[in-house]
């Protein structure tokens, strides 16, 4: 297959700041729209945690031209789909339709992004849905361990440390006026990126985006720099008791590399060896398969604009918590102290290189990859350089990444499970 690159990705910036990325693909008659706006939970306060997610979800509940029901009836009548959701740095949106329906889908997206009305009755329905989800979270060991880890790993007030969807008390207190004010202050074309991939000529795609969004003005928050995140110097831990559960979930780790860090790919390859490749890497082999201490055990490095978490995640029988933790720490210590053998490293490199074409099999996968290149300023030729970038990573670089970000004696630990 042809790896997307500058030869077939059209990039154009509109006068109002919107960046359009388009790639033509006629293997199917469909087209995917994917993008983001420069507004997210970064722009809310601790006291209004969940405001960005609440606002994003409310955008499609009614506009000046369409009711909630009319929006979805119009989209579904042509077999299309779309959605909007908030993240920390961005609010993402996406849609998929037949190529012939692209003007309709862009019109609907422009309508909900530019002209939401936040109908009071729909806002209250949505609030009820969010509060129900938050109540369910309190009884979910995996979600509570993940939430608690972030609260422990990042300083108070840091946007990475609070719940993206908020808390019962914060969501209950958010008013419709708060949603309107947040929208009016933060939603606009500056920093907006939209990728269109599928059975449409790039120039035509650019024209259609310009027709839908080219005259949008809007506003964008002025953001202070991300607060610094100190490394753990000792063990920082918390246990969350959840009655009625028979499994305990563990999240152990620390703030890791930003996606823009020059050593990010080193960390990603290190993480692949530790807890991804095969049956969840070394962690899956040792902690789960050989020692039988976990139902699952794997690792994840998130990246992002700032130091996203690098974590080991495990689900265990409550009686095995301490033994599982010792085994996890032993694997972290081993990858820090011993260079990864060349054959093992080569297997993980082959996995990362070989999985790239699979990620690019669909228009959705191509759109995600193109957006990532734009978001982190990787260059339009990044995917074409990717295999070489992975293959040139040495055992020494993998070990250096582990020593920089992982420490078996200084880490953050969140545990959620049945009361002790």
- Pick from 18, 19, 22, 27: nearest CA to 8: 22
Residue indicated by tokens 């993998």: 398
pTM above 0.85, yes or no: yes
The mean pLDDT value for 341-352 works out to: 97
Q: Taking residues 62-83, what's their average pLDDT? A: 97
What burial letters (b/e) apply to 317-356, b meaning 16+ CB within 10 Å? beebbebbbebbbebbeebbeeebeeeebeebbebbeeeb
Does residue 252 have a pLDDT over 90? Answer: yes
280 sits in the region (left: phi over 0; alpha: psi -120 to 50; else beta) called left
Reported confidence tier of residue 2, pLDDT bands at 50, 70, 90 = confident
pLDDT of residue 420: 82
The Cα 355–Cα 349 span in angstroms is 10
SS3 12: strand
Q: Tokens representing 368? A: 């995600």
Domains and CATH numbers, the chain: 9-213 (3.30.830.10), 236-417 (3.30.830.10)
Q: What integer best gives the mean pLDDT of the chain?
A: 97
The answer to whether 308 and 301 are in contact (CB under 8 A) is yes
- pLDDT tens across 17-63, in order? 999 999 999 999 999 999 999 999 999 999 999 999 999 999 999 99
Band the pLDDT of 278: cuts 50, 70, 90.
confident
Q: Which pair of tokens denotes residue 232?
A: 């753990």
What pLDDT is stored for residue 1 in this prediction? 57
Residue 236 above 60 pLDDT?
yes
In eight-state DSSP terms, residue 26 is -
Q: What is the pLDDT of residue 66?
A: 97
Quick one: three-class SS letters along 176-216? HHHHHHHHHHHCCCCCCEEEEEECCCHHHHHHHHHHHHCCC
Whole-Å CA distances, 184 to 25, 59, 62, 188: 36, 12, 16, 8
Find the mean pLDDT for residues 274-294: 94
């Amino acid at each position: 297959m042809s790896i997307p690159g500058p030869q077939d990705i059209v990039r154009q910036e509109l006068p109002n700041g919107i960046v359009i990325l388009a790639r033509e693909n006629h293997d199917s008659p469909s087209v995917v729209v994917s993008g983001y706006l420069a507004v997210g939970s970064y722009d809310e306060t601790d006291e209004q945690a969940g405001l960005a997610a609440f606002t994003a979800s409310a955008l499609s509940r009614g506009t000046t031209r369409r009711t909630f029901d009319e929006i979805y009836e119009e989209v579904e009548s042509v077999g299309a789909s779309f959605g909007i959701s908030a993240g920390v740095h961005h609010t993402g949106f996406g849609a998929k339709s037949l190529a012939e329906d692209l003007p309709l889908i862009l019109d609907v997206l422009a309508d909900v992004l530019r002209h939401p009305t936040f109908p009071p009755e729909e806002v209250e329905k949505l609030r009820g849905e969010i509060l129900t989800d938050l109540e369910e979270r309190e009884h979910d060991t995996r979600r509570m361990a993940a939430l608690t880890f972030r609260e422990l790993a990042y300083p108070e007030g840091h946007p990475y440390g609070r719940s993206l969807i908020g808390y019962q008390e914060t969501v209950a207190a958010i008013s419709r006026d708060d949603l309107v004010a947040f929208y009016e202050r933060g939603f606009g074309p500056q920093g907006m990126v939209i990728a269109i991939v599928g059975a449409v000529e790039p120039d035509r795609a650019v024209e259609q985006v310009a027709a839908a969004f080219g005259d949008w003005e809007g506003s964008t928050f002025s953001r202070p720099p991300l607060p610094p995140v100190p490394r753990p110097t000792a063990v920082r831990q918390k246990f969350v008791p959840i009655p009625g559960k028979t499994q305990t979930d563990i999240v152990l780790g620390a703030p890791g590399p930003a996606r823009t860090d020059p050593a990010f790919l080193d960390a990603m390859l290190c993480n692949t060896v530790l807890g991804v490749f095969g049956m969840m890497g070394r962690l899956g082999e040792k902690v789960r398969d050989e020692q039988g201490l976990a139902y699952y055990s794997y690792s994840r490095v998130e990246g992002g604009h700032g130091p996203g978490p690098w974590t080991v995640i495990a689900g265990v029988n409550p009686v095995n918590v301490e033994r599982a933790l010792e085994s996890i720490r032993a694997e972290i210590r081993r990858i820090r102290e011993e260079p990864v053998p060349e054959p093992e490293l080569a297997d993980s490199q082959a996995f990362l290189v070989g999985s790239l074409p699979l990620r690019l099999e669909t228009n959705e996968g191509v759109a995600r990859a193109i957006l990532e290149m734009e978001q982190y300023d990787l260059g339009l030729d990044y995917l074409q350089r990717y295999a070489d970038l992975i293959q040139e990573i040495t055992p020494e670089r993998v070990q250096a990444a582990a020593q920089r970000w992982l420490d078996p004696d200084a880490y953050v630990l969140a545990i959620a499970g049945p009361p002790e």
